[in-house]
Amino acid sequence: MLGPRSLVALAAAKATREALRATGRGATTLPGLIALSLDEGVATDLARRLPQGVVVVTGTNGKTTTSRMLADAVRLAGWRPVHNRAGSNLARGVASALVADATWIGEPRADGAIFEVDEASVVAVARLVRPRVMVITNLFRDQLDRYGELDTVTRRMREAVAALPPDATLVLNADDPIVSRLGENATCRVLRFGIDDERTVGVLEQNVSDLTHCPRCRSRLEYRRVVLGHVGDYHCPNCGFARPQPEIAASRVESRTDGTRLVLGAGEGAIVELPLPGVYNAYNALAAIAAAHALGISLDVSVRALASFRPPFGRLEVVEAAGRRLRLVLVKNPAGFNAAVSALLSPDARVHALAALNDLDADGRDVSWIWDADFEALAPAIDWAVVTGLRARDLALRLKYAGVPAERTRVVEGWQPAIRAALERARPGEEVVILATYTATLALRHALSEMGYAKEFWED
């Protein structure tokens, strides 16, 4: 039983949730905010009652996909995890999910939890829920007005790692030197994942890197192979800092436009057929496999779960509309944009794009990042682009400087008019790629639903 104060907080939060659901709203953050403001301990108490413990997934890109993949695997293993699905990844979103799962007397219905957690909230959440496993996918520059510089985010991650219980497992990307280094001073178990395949190299010119010098001794880092930005096979010629051999490794990665095949381990390793393109999704899959392994779930189960994986909201998700295929790609920062573009571009690809840029708090109010994103790689493939959103004109300008001829870019105000313009421009059967920032993706998804093409996202 919870204490009386926790029970009051839980009841208030659950009542809020019922009221919001009754009026048709998502209830993904407010109940948690209320619970935490009445009693900080309620989330800790609820989390402690989960017999399989809590997994926290954080990092700049890949949080949602990785935690979804892991949730599929643990479900296939017979668990009933609670999961903060709709991108509500602050402490209040985590608390809301715990509140929603618990009965009115504080008994969990789930047996474990998988939470994706915003980089800015990771220290608070780590202290709140005492994770059994923490996954850090990668760290790149992202929304500087909100998160601060990458150095600041890295310090925060170090603090979260220090807050992990001694019996926890820290799952790290070996190929990201900033992330991998977080394991150096960890007191808990560390499990790393990475790609060993020498043919896996970035298809774009790597114009912007967040780490060029050794984080230990400041000498210039050398790379045998760069996959994306500062992610790859690195070593410092001076102090010996180097990519460690990951325990969970793909010896081979073959990415096609409709999926990715991974061979795990050396020689005749297990084969993962992932129905999602992009090397970045190979990393997400490896992170999920490593986390599942840390939870004692067999590789066979993870492989089967990944084979039937369906992309979450806005992550290469496909919506059929008026005989056209709309592929939604959420882009929030240069690394995420470049990773998505790498996945979308095949040598002869022609791109029909609906691009939407917002600058609300959740998007980052500084739109400078679009100038770091490699629109130059995309530009030659663009047949036409409809641009929309609060900062549509900045996107039009970006496309101009990327070399897209003016007559191929059209600014359309309003979400539904922009969707209609793109659908009219595309021929039946053609694919339109929707590249949009966070709140623009929400708005476009909502507009698509009002037009009868897609369900509201919190229904899935």
Partner 1 sequence: MDLRICHLYGDLMAIYGDRGNVLTLRRRCEWRGIDATVEIVSAGDRLDPERYDLYFFGGGQDAQQDIVADDLQAGNGERLRTAVQAGAAILSVCGGYQLLGHYYRPFEGPELPGLGILDAHTVAGRKRFIGNVLALGEQALVGFENHSGRTYLGPQAQPLATVVNGAGNNGEDGTEGAVQGKAIGTYLHGSLLPKNPWLADRVITWALERRHGAVQLDRLDDAVEDSARDVAMSLARQRR
Task: Tell me how far CA of residue 92 lies from CA of 34, 39, 117, 191, in angstroms.
Answer: 8, 12, 10, 28
Distance of CA 106 to the CA centre of its chain: 30
Give the chain's largest Cα–Cα span: 66
Q: Given 145, 300, 366, 383, which residue is catalytic?
A: 366
Query: C-beta of 219: minimal distance to partner 1 in Å?
Result: 10
Which of residues 325 and 410 has its CB atom nearest to partner 1 in the complex?
A: 410
Determine whether 366 is an active site residue: yes
103 binding partner 1? (CB under 8 A): no
| CB-based contacts of 153, cutoff 8 Å, min separation 6 | 60, 119, 139, 142, 147
391 is an interface residue for partner 1 by CB under 8 A:
yes
Q: Does 222 bind partner 1 (CB under 8 A)?
A: no
Q: Which is nearer to partner 1, 147 or 457 (CB)?
A: 147
Determine the interface stretch with partner 1 among 71-79, 125-133, 342-350, 399-407 (rule: CB under 8 A): 399-407
Among 37, 103, 187, 207, binds partner 1 (CB under 8 A): 207
| CA 77/CA 69 separation, integer angstroms | 13
Instruction: Check if the beta carbon of residue 339 is closer than 8 Å to that of residue 278.
Output: yes
192 closest CA partner among 123, 328, 301, 287 = 287
**Binder among 111, 394, 430, 456 for partner 1 (CB under 8 A):** 394
Burial of 220: CB neighbours in 10 Å, binned 0-12, 13-18, 19+: exposed
Q: Nearest to residue 33, comparing CAs of 98, 93, 122? A: 93
Contact between 212 and partner 1 by CB under 8 A: the answer reads yes
> Which residue, 145 or 159, has its beta carbon nearer to partner 1?
145
Q: Which of residues 245-264 bind partner 1 (CB under 8 A)?
A: none
**Least distance (Å) between residue 107 CB and partner 1:** 44
Six-digit token string for 42:
């309620």
Residue list 129-148, contact with partner 1 (CB under 8 A): 141, 144-145
Q: Can residue 217 be called a binding residue for partner 1 (CB under 8 A)?
A: no
Which residue in the block uniquely carries the two structure tokens 């969990």?
108
Among 222, 366, 383, 424, indicate the residue that binds partner 1 (CB under 8 A).
Answer: 366
Look up tokens 């997934």; give the residue: 57
Give yes or no for residue 155 binding partner 1 (CB under 8 A).
no
The residues carrying an active-site annotation are 366
> Which parts of this chain interact with partner 1 (CB under 8 A)?
141, 144-145, 149-151, 207-209, 212-213, 215, 218, 220, 359, 365-372, 391, 393-394, 396-398, 400-401, 406
